[in-house]
Amino acid sequence: MTQDFRFDPVRFALPEGHSLFPIRDLDCYATLAARVGVCPHGFMLADLGPDAWTLRKTYWAPRNDIWRAFRSAVQQRHPHLPAWEDLTQNGIKFASLYELAVYRRLLALLPGDVILKVHPRLKDCFCDPKAEGDFCLTSQHTGKKSFIEVVGAFDQSFSAHSVLQQERRPETLRRLHRYPADERPVLIFKDMVCDPELRDAALRQALAIVRT
């Protein structure tokens, strides 16, 4: 048999704890994940500041193989972070990482006397009897409700920076206008999801509506 002189990654394995990627980048990603409560994808990295933008430019699209390898390296160094985020949690399928991030934060903030309902039916929506919202909070004491809508396609400026955003803008507006005047939802835009202070301020407003 002809001898094989090619590199054998099994024979010449990296030392334990070493990676092809700089440790500072793996730790930076883990810090960003802790900040938003999910493992951010490339689109979300654009809203997380200059360090996140550097990670995005270095490892994300269009070089998907590099992105997968990077995420795998993050998971090896930080085992509590999944190599890929599952949009289904507690039997609920979420539409985006932004919505999932808000859900996880809501669970952490939710008082014992407030009930959280995911994808509630909007009963008073005359234009769409099957309409659903993102989240509804209901107080067991006051009976009051407040709704939360995650606007994951836009930042607070509601500017359309891409063709996809331009296409989704009318549908997003239609979705927001389905609510009755006395049940206007608290809005959480994608840049707010990436800003813990703004995100929590919006969620606390939604909680205050039902508890006062």
Average predicted confidence (pLDDT) for the chain: 90
Q: How far is CA 113 from the centre of its chain?
A: 26
pLDDT, tens digit (0-9, with 9 covering 90-100), for 3-31 = 888 877 777 766 766 678 999 999 999 99
Q: The tokens of 204 are what?
A: 């606390």
As to burial, measured by CB atoms within 10 angstroms (0-12 exposed, 13-18 middle, 19+ buried), residue 145 is middle
pLDDT, tens digit (0-9, with 9 covering 90-100), for 126-156 = 667 677 899 999 999 999 999 999 999 999 9
Which residues in the chain are classed under CATH 3.40.960?
88-211
Q: The tokens of 157 are what?
A: 């400026």
Q: Is 12 helix (H, G, I), strand (E, B) or coil?
A: coil
Does pLDDT of 124 surpass 80?
A: no
Does pLDDT of 89 surpass 70?
A: yes
Q: The tokens of 16 are what?
A: 């334990």
Which stretches of 60-195 are DSSP H helices?
64-77, 97-109, 163-177, 190-193
The percentage of the chain sitting over the pLDDT mark of 70, rounded to a whole number, equals 93
- Is the CATH number 1.10.3470 carried by domain 88-211? no
Residue found by looking up tokens 């063709």 in the block: 163
Which phi-psi region, left, alpha or beta, contains residue 81 (left: φ > 0; alpha: ψ -120 to 50)? beta
Instruction: State the pLDDT at residue 180.
Output: 81
As a whole number of angstroms, the distance between CA 158 and CA 169 comes to 8
Instruction: State the pLDDT at residue 30.
Output: 97
Give the model's confidence band at 183: pLDDT under 50 very low, under 70 low, under 90 confident, else very high.
Answer: confident
Instruction: State the pLDDT at residue 7.
Output: 78
pTM of the model: 0.88
